[in-house]
Amino acid sequence: MPQIGPYTLTNAVALAPMAGVTDLPFRQLCARLGAGLVVSEMVNSNPRLRNTDKTRLRTRHDAEIEPRSVQIAGNDPQQMAAAARYNVALGAQVIDINMGCPAKKVCRKAAGSALLADEPLVLDILQAVVAAVQVPVTLKIRTGSSPQARNGVSIARIAEDAGVAALAVHGRTRACAFRGRAEYDTIADIVAAVDIPVFANGDIDSAEKAEAVLRHTGAAGVMVGRAAQGRPWLCGQIAARLATGSTPPAPSLAQQVALLHDHVSALHLFYGDFLGPRIARKHVGWFLQHQPQWLTHRAAFNALDDSAAQLHMIDQLFTGTTAENMAA
């Protein structure tokens, strides 16, 4: 199993950090359903943002599986080092550095995947963060700034030399964003170039795909991102396939609805009566995308702003109801 510093993961499947997605309730759910590592939403390294509600929620780790991994983002080495120390004091056991996000609002600040174009700055940030904390430091990257400038191998070697404990590599460049297909040849080259564990990321949407990507790249593990939205059991399915060679079925429809009910209830508790129902809408929407027979009810659910009403609608529409009845 992959090793990150002193931590041996229970399996080789990690849930990718995703802003607005991998909050504490979702991380807890995916871990319970089989993810071997879950990573927090991106936490801005700017110290002026530490006392905001968003940062406060993103740095909670109640009853979270270990190792507790927190992703930080920024472009100033000393701010990043301070952010690492701050999050370790709050309970982080692994510090993950974001150099993979392609979002314009992140890259405009020369952070995220924009950093890949500045290798000296990458080195400065990694050295500062590694020196600042006693916990393992990991790094999430893309394969480069653009298809014409794939420097992922060079970045990976810089990371290893700086003391980074593990890498996650998304098989697209910054310029590609999420368009087109992920490519895994560069990830294979990175695996061959370094001795630290590498997690392959990008377009891993099934257990069979995960197995094929590991076979192609030789990576130590896979990292699942958008495909887990609406399917929090996917990491567990992948882990089972890698362990046994066979893919367990997804939970039954009744079990999926029960999981959704529990997840929405946890979101209400975590975010409160105002924000909780609003956050729940997108998670229910992702679930419904995989249940086209119920997708017409998305608008009605999104119109609800009361916690009890949302749970009641889930129970009334879904629990014990077959797809045939819903379609009738």
Which of 181, 212, 244 corresponds to the end of one domain? Answer: 244
What is the DSSP code (8-state) at residue 172?
S
| Domains of the chain: total | 2
pLDDT at 323 exceeding the cut of 70: no
In a domain, 326, yes or no: no
- Domain encompassing residue 36: 3-244
**% of the chain surpassing 90 pLDDT:** 63
The string of pLDDT tens digits covering residues 283-310 is: 999 998 888 878 888 888 899 999 999 9
**pLDDT of 177:** 62
Domain co-membership, 302 together with 160: no
State phi, psi for 166 to the nearest 5 degrees: -165, 155
Do the Cβ atoms of 283 and 267 come closer than 8 Å?
yes
Angle, alpha carbons 163-167-169 (nearest 5°): 145
pLDDT range class, residue 146, cuts 50, 70, 90 = low
Distance CA 55, CA 269 (A): 17
Residues forming the active site: 101
Which of 211, 244, 277 corresponds to the end of one domain? Answer: 244
Domain co-membership, 190 together with 292: no
Do the Cβ atoms of 197 and 3 come closer than 8 Å?
yes
**pLDDT of 315:** 86
Do the Cβ atoms of 298 and 285 come closer than 8 Å?
yes
Domain co-membership, 205 together with 309: no
Domain co-membership, 195 together with 285: no
Q: What's the average model confidence in pLDDT over 144-153? A: 76
pLDDT range class, residue 65, cuts 50, 70, 90 = confident
Beta-bridged to residue 97, according to DSSP, are: 72, 139
In a domain, 328, yes or no: no
In a domain, 327, yes or no: no
197 upstream amide cis, omega within 30 of 0:
no
pLDDT at 105 exceeding the cut of 60: no
In a domain, 295, yes or no: yes
Domain co-membership, 181 together with 42: yes
Beta-bridged to residue 39, according to DSSP, are: 69
The string of pLDDT tens digits covering residues 212-232 is: 999 999 999 999 999 999 999
Domain co-membership, 216 together with 303: no
CB-count burial class (<10 Å; 0-12, 13-18, 19+) for 181: exposed
Domain co-membership, 88 together with 173: yes
Which of 216, 244, 272 corresponds to the end of one domain? Answer: 244
In a domain, 159, yes or no: yes
Do the Cβ atoms of 87 and 53 come closer than 8 Å?
no
Domain co-membership, 261 together with 225: no
Domain co-membership, 156 together with 291: no
Do the Cβ atoms of 25 and 31 come closer than 8 Å?
no
Q: Which of 44-58, 114-128, 183-197 has the lowest mean pLDDT?
A: 44-58
CB-count burial class (<10 Å; 0-12, 13-18, 19+) for 272: middle
* Helical segments of 118-204, H only: 119-132, 152-162, 185-193
